[in-house]
Amino acid sequence: MDKSKCKGKILVAECLLGVSCRYDGGDAVSENVMEFLKGKDFVPVCPEQLGGLCTPRPPAEIDSGGGFDVLDGKSRVLSKDGYDFTKAYVKGAQEALKIAKMTGCNMALLKEKSPSCGVHSIYDGKFSGTLKDGCGAFCALLKREGVEVMSDMDL
């Protein structure tokens, strides 16, 4: 995605704006994101909270495959202790997509490595700290719907 050609409203992961909505109760505020968004129309969302998950919440990873597999029922989003958060992640992705459509967002700026928002990489599902190529469930849904996506690491 050529960030210089970004026009229209941008859906933005709330954690990148300084909202304390990450699994650990923190944020992922980024100077690069704030600079990029200056003068642009954007809509903040947190798909995990929209799916009904609280903050803080247990860390979760996609157990195998990636976000497309979660959407297709081939993979699950599990906490380290094995709790299945898949339904909440899928519901949150669907609700955030509704917001994107209602507000006319044609692109999204998401948080890399997240099981919801990862664009290029996500954790391997073993809670080992190892990354693998792939995207999160929300990113996968946006891609399926033709929304252009970029991550905070692309800036």
Q: At what angle do helices 86-103 and 137-144 cross, to 10 degrees?
A: 40
Give residue 3's pLDDT: 55
**Does residue 43 have a pLDDT over 70?**
yes
The tally of CA atoms less than 13 A away on the side-chain side of residue 128 is 7
Q: What is the pLDDT of residues 73-96, one digit of tens each?
A: 999 999 999 999 999 999 999 999
Q: What percent of the chain has pLDDT over 90?
A: 94
Q: How confident is the model at residue 113 (pLDDT cuts 50, 70, 90)?
A: very high
Q: Return d(Cα 62, Cα 138) in angstroms, integer.
A: 12
Please report which helix (H) or strand (E) contains residue 69, including its range: helix 67-71
**What is the enclosing helix (H) or strand (E) of 150?**
strand 148-151
- Mean per-residue pLDDT over the chain, rounded: 96
Write the CA distances from 145 to 89, 100, 139, 152, integer angstroms.
Answer: 17, 10, 10, 21
Check residue 8 and give its pLDDT.
84
Q: Under 8 Å CB-to-CB from 89, ≥6 apart: which residues?
A: 47, 48, 51, 60, 70, 77, 115, 116, 137, 138
* Residues belonging to the chain: 155
Q: What are phi and psi of 30, to 5 degrees?
A: -135, 125
Closest CA to 89 of 129, 120, 54, 49: 49
